[in-house]
Amino acid sequence: MISNIDFYYAAILGFIQGVTEFLPISSSGHLLLLHELFNFEAGDALTFDIALHVGTLLTICLYFGKDIINYAKTQPKLLYMAAISSIPAGIIGALFGDLIDQTFRFDWVVVIMLVVVAIIFLLVEKFSKQATNLEQLTWKQAMIMGCVQALALIPGTSRSGITMSFGMLFGLKRVAAARFSFIMVIPLLLGLTVKKGYDLSQASLSNHDLLVMLLGASVAAVVGLFCIRFLLVYFQRYTLKPFAYYRIILAVVVSLVLFL
C-alpha cells in the first residue's frame, strides 16, 4: 500500500507529526501539505497518518500516565469528563470521517483554517480571564470542548489549539487548558487506533511497509515527548500569540506557492 514511502520520508513526517500534533499549529494541515510535496498517493498518505497517530497516542499515555493514575485516585471526575467529552468527535468521525476527508482534504482548506484559528488564538488571548484551575472545569464546559474538538477533523484546525482556546475562554489557565486538551484526546485516539488498526489488518502490508510505519510512529512518539514538556513549561509564562503569527505566515507562504 505504501511502498512509495521510504525511510527518509517516514522520519521527516514522524518528526513533523511529533511537533505539530502538540504545538497548536495543526498536524493534519502540515502532513497534508507534506504529502503533496512528496507526491504521496491519497490512500498511502492516510494509511501512514494512522501509524503516526499511534505514535502520538503512545506519547500522551507515557507522559500523562502518572497524572491519569493520580486523577483516578483523587479526582476521577476529570477522567470521566475527558472520556465523555471525546464522544461527540468520535461519533462525527465515525459517521462522517470519510466524507470530511473527501470534502475538506485540500490545500486551500488548510490555508483558510490556519488563518481562522490564528484569529481565534488572538481573540482568546485578548479577552479570556485565565484564572481557574483544571479542578474547576464543569461538565458543560468539558462537553463544549469535546464538541469543538470535532472541528479538528478539518485539516489546518489543530485539535489541541481549538480545544485549548475554548478552555481558556471558560477561564482556565493556559497550562490547565493544555493539560486537559491532551488528556481528553486519549479515548479518541484509542478509538481511531482500534478502528483503523482493524482496517489495516485486512490489508496486505509488506515487511517494508510495516517497518516504514514503525519508524514514523517511533519518531513521532519520541519527538512528541519533548514537545509536550516544552509546551507545558512554555505556557507557564507565554501566550498563544507566536503560534497565531506562525499560522498566518504559513498560510501566506502556502498561498503564494499555490498561486505560482
Q: pLDDT tens-digit profile of 114-142?
A: 999 999 999 999 999 999 999 999 999 99
- Stretch 200-222: mean pLDDT: 79
Q: Is residue 1 part of a domain?
A: no
**pLDDT for position 38:** 66
The whole-number pLDDT of residue 43 equals 44
In the predicted structure, residue 105 carries a pLDDT above the cut 90:
no
Mean pLDDT of 94-110: 84
Give 102-165 as a 3 state SS string.
HHHCCHHHHHHHHHHHHHHHHHHHHHCCCCECHHHCCHHHHHHHHHHHHHHHCCCCCHHHHHHH
What average pLDDT does the segment 149-171 reach?
Answer: 93
Around Cβ 138, how many Cβ atoms within 10 Å?
11
pLDDT of residue 52: 83
Of 176, 179, 191, nearest to 86 by C-alpha is: 191
More confident residue, 109 or 49: 109
2 lies in a domain?
A: no
- Residue 237 domain flag: yes
Domain that holds residue 186: 7-259
| pLDDT at 42 > cutoff 50 | no
Largest CA distance in the chain: 57
Average pLDDT of the segment spanning 8-34: 85
Looking at residue 199, its pLDDT comes to 63
Instruction: Please check whether residue 75 lies inside any domain of the structure.
Output: yes
Secondary structure in 3-state letters for the chain? CCCCCCHHHHHHHHHHHHHHCCCCCCHHHHHHHHHHHCCCCHHHHHHHHHHHHHHHHHHHHHHHHHHHHHHHHHCHHHHHHHHHHCHHHHHHHHHHHHHHHHHHCCHHHHHHHHHHHHHHHHHHHHHCCCCECHHHCCHHHHHHHHHHHHHHHCCCCCHHHHHHHHHHHCCECHHHHHHHHHHHCHHHHHHHHHHHHHHHHCCCCCHHHHHHHHHHHHHHHHHHHHHHHHHHHHCCCCCCHHHHHHHHHHHHHHHHHHHC
Residue 76: inside a domain, yes or no? yes
pLDDT of residue 248: 96
- Residue 172 pairs with which residues in a beta bridge? 132
pLDDT at position 96: 85
Position 187 scores a pLDDT of: 87
Name which of 1-15, 148-162, 164-178, 234-248 the model is least confident about: 1-15
The confidence score (pLDDT) of residue 98 equals 78
Looking at the domain assignment, is residue 183 inside a domain?
A: yes
Q: What is the reported pLDDT for 225?
A: 94
Instruction: Give a yes or no: residue 117 inside a domain.
Output: yes
pLDDT for residue 197? 65
Phi-psi region of 6 (alpha: psi -120 to 50; beta: other; left: phi over 0): beta
Compare 53 and 167 and report the one with higher pLDDT.
167
Q: Does residue 177 lie in a domain region? A: yes
pLDDT of residue 25: 92
CA neighbor of 110 nearest in space, from 32, 45, 4, 38: 32
Model confidence at 27: pLDDT above 60 = yes
Per-residue pLDDT at 45 exceeds 70: no
Residue entry with cell 482556565: 172
pLDDT(50) > 70 = yes
Q: How confident is the model at residue 81 (pLDDT cuts 50, 70, 90)?
A: very high
Listed in sequence order, the residues at least 6 apart from 15 whose beta carbon sits closer than 8 Å to its beta carbon are: 219, 220, 223
Of the candidates 194, 191, 207, 180, the residue with the CA atom closest to the CA atom of residue 82: 180
Q: Which grid coordinates belong to 34?
A: 507534506
Task: Count structural domains, the chain.
Answer: 1
Tell me, what's the pLDDT at 245?
97
- Give the sign of the dihedral formed by CA 140, CA 146, CA 150, CA 156: positive
